[in-house]
């Protein structure tokens, strides 16, 4: 009766795909030991929260409260039918989803996820530079209005991207830290051997 509930790593080995994913995470973050991995996880979590709060403050100050002073009423709707206020919300959401999908797709080597992430990133880039395009075609009269709109969307995108990347790093490191005792290999030895192997390889460039 107890055989099916055994937690012995020999009886219930981690699937090869999961072990390979964990190995990829370790090589990317390069922790030296469990204490260092915990520090990396903590720092990533703190940075994620700080970037997310910064993005929220930027949106609240420059869009929700300061939009009228920056000429948001003079910005015509996007070709996608979005007002600037709506675009300032849609763009960070697209960045969040595209970054998360792209990162997990790259870790697992999933072409469909990478395709979606790349397409969403292209849409974000379009929405960011669209105010400048509207300025060129005469839909926006003031240069400062177009520049302010593009700058705000760019800053919101960057802060959201950094928050998501740091948050994903914290989640993945936490996952590996909780499971590394059950792995069929020493994750820290893998990182050490990888670094030593890099030192042994000479650069092809002078």
pLDDT for 84-106, tens place per residue?
Answer: 999 999 999 999 999 988 887 77
Domain that holds residue 170: 37-180
Mean pLDDT of 113-119: 83
Q: Which residue has the tokens 């998501």?
A: 164
Q: Does residue 199 form part of some domain?
A: no
Of the candidates 23, 20, 12, 16, the one whose C-alpha atom is nearest the C-alpha of residue 189 is 23
Lowest mean pLDDT among 12-21, 89-98, 127-136, 190-199: 190-199
For the chain, how many helices (H) and strands (E)? 6, 0
Q: Ramachandran region of residue 71, left (φ > 0), alpha (ψ -120 to 50) or beta?
A: left
| Torsion, CA 55, CA 61, CA 65, CA 70, rounded to 10 | -100
Host H or E run for residue 20: helix 16-29
Q: The tokens of 19 are what?
A: 């072990």
Q: Does residue 75 form part of some domain?
A: yes
Q: Does residue 78 form part of some domain?
A: yes
Indicate whether 194 pLDDT > 70. no
What CA–CA distance (Å, rounded) separates 51 from 166?
9
Is residue 153 within 8 Å of 128, Cβ to Cβ? yes
Indicate whether 52 pLDDT > 90. yes
Is residue 178 classed exposed, middle or buried when 0-12, 13-18 and 19+ CB atoms within 10 A define those classes? exposed
Q: How many CB atoms lie within 10 A of CB 121?
A: 18
Q: Does residue 96 form part of some domain?
A: yes
What pLDDT shows up at residue 114? 80
Q: Does residue 52 form part of some domain?
A: yes
**Number of domains the chain is built from:** 1
What CA–CA distance (Å, rounded) separates 88 from 156?
8
Q: Does residue 125 form part of some domain?
A: yes
Host H or E run for residue 188: helix 187-200
Mean pLDDT of the chain: 81
Q: Does residue 108 form part of some domain?
A: yes
Q: Does residue 84 form part of some domain?
A: yes
């Amino acid at each position: 009766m107890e055989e099916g509930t055994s937690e012995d790593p020999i009886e219930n080995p981690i699937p090869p795909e999961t072990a390979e994913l964990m190995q990829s995470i370790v090589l990317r973050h390069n922790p030296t030991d469990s204490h260092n991995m915990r520090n990396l996880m903590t720092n990533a979590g703190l940075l994620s929260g700080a970037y997310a709060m910064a993005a929220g403050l930027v949106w609240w100050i420059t869009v929700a409260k300061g939009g009228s002073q920056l000429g948001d009423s003079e910005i015509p709707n996007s070709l996608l039918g979005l007002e600037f206020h709506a675009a300032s919300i849609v763009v960070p959401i697209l960045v969040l989803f595209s970054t998360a999908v792209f990162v997990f797709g790259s870790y697992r080597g999933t072409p469909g996820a990478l395709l979606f992430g790349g397409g969403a990133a292209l849409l974000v880039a379009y929405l960011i530079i669209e105010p400048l395009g509207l300025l060129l075609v005469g839909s926006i009269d003031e240069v400062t209005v177009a520049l302010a709109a593009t700058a705000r969307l760019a800053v919101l995108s960057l802060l959201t991207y950094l928050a998501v990347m740091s948050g994903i790093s914290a989640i993945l490191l936490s996952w590996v830290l909780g499971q590394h005792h059950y792995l069929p290999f020493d994750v820290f030895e893998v990182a050490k051997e990888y670094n030593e192997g890099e030192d042994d390889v000479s650069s092809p460039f002078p």
